[in-house]
Amino acid sequence: MRKKKFMNLMALALVIILLMIVSAEAKGIKLESLEVLLESLIIKPLIRGLVIAAPIGYWLAYQDGTSFVKNFNRVILYNPPTEGILPFLNILLKILFPVYSLLIVSIGFYLLLYSSSPEGRANAKSLLSKLIITLVLISLSSRLIWLIFSISGYLTDSIFSLTSLELIGEILNGGIWGMLILSTWLMIPDIELGAVSLMLVYVFAWLPYMVISLRNIVLTTLMILFPLGILLYFIPELKSIGKTILEQFLIWTFIQAFMALALVSVAKAFSVTTLVSNPEITCLNIFPVPGINNMLAWFFTSIDLGTTNLMTLGFGAVAHFSIILVPIVMVLLFKKFLP
């Protein structure tokens, strides 16, 4: 009975407040408090949760947001097809064959008719052998590239076998989802607060792919230049150019092995490192209002957006950054190794 009375009283109060609002509106008074209540505390936070965070979560869970996380081993193992260079190789050979014939014939003439000193003859002979070696190597260059790619691919595959791929996947997944959880938690009260972490979500989703795509583009370019590199390497005056091309080709090829090694190291470090306190952060109890909170929590958990901790987030970020860092370190460490 008492409860019924209370409910009646509440209903009356609500009607009076509504009537007051209507009366105020009729008098042309704009209610700022209502605006603030809806804008800062209910509507806009809800919109941010449902229109910004949730679609990004959906993008990560069901679309290409976590494509790298799901396919990292295949993506890292991928090498551009060697058949791609065949048209370029044919053009190069078409240009080189007349030049080669001319060079061989002139060396032959030199040996037969003009050579007077033994030194000159020895030089001509060594040039002839170099020409023949380069000719063979250039004709075999697509096979050579295939061989180098196979060695690198095999090495990468064996490095991946040093730890479980599932663990690496989990770490990468933890990094990208952790960042989204953090940015959701921050962006619900104020969108600008979550800007840095939201940007990092995109960095984690795109940058590894960008680095790996850059590798493929550079490698395709170097594959086309590879036969030319061999030719230039055997000409003493142009050796430095040939050396640069061959070195860069080898470095960019073996970057995949080092990316795998970096990920394996992250997985190993993740499984042995401990923190004194490993705090958790969640985006499930963001709203102070229980009803809205439950609704959002149901929505977020349905797309995996729940809780993260410092270890998972930190190592996930390190895993993504190491993919980006490896080409830089490799290019810096492994330069000028050809004689």
Residue 64 Cβ, how far from another protein at the closest point, in Å? 25
Residue 176 Cβ, how far from another protein at the closest point, in Å? 15
Residue 205 or 219 having the CB closest to another protein: 219
E strands, the chain, where? 280-282, 307-309
Residue 105 or 238 having the CB closest to another protein: 238
Out of 52, 165, 250, 261, name the contact with another protein by CB under 8 A: 261
Residues 277-296 touching another protein, rule: CB under 8 A, are 277-281, 288
Cα–Cα distance measured from residue 140 to residue 80, given in angstroms and rounded to the nearest whole number: 18
Q: Provide the 3-class DSSP secondary structure of residue 277.
A: coil
Residue 136 or 196 having the CB closest to another protein: 196
Residue 186 Cβ, how far from another protein at the closest point, in Å? 6
Out of 134, 244, 253, 256, name the contact with another protein by CB under 8 A: 244
Residue 30 or 113 having the CB closest to another protein: 30
* Site pattern 21..60 for another protein (x: CB under 8 A): x-xx-xx-x-xxxxxxx--xx-------------------
Residue 299 or 334 having the CB closest to another protein: 334
Structure tokens at 116: 């007077």
Cα–Cα distance measured from residue 215 to residue 254, given in angstroms and rounded to the nearest whole number: 10
Residue 111 or 325 having the CB closest to another protein: 325
Q: Does 174 bind another protein (CB under 8 A)?
A: no
Cα→Cα distances 204→49, 114, 243, Å? 21, 67, 35
Q: Does 164 bind another protein (CB under 8 A)?
A: no
Q: Does 181 bind another protein (CB under 8 A)?
A: no
Q: Does 195 bind another protein (CB under 8 A)?
A: yes
CA 321 to chain centre: 9
- DSSP assignments along 18-44, one per residue: HHHHHHHHHTT---HHHHHIIIIIIIH
Cα–Cα distance measured from residue 339 to residue 260, given in angstroms and rounded to the nearest whole number: 28
CA 176 to chain centre: 12
Residues 127-156 touching another protein, rule: CB under 8 A, are 155
CA 140 to chain centre: 33
Contact 285, 296 (CB under 8 A): no
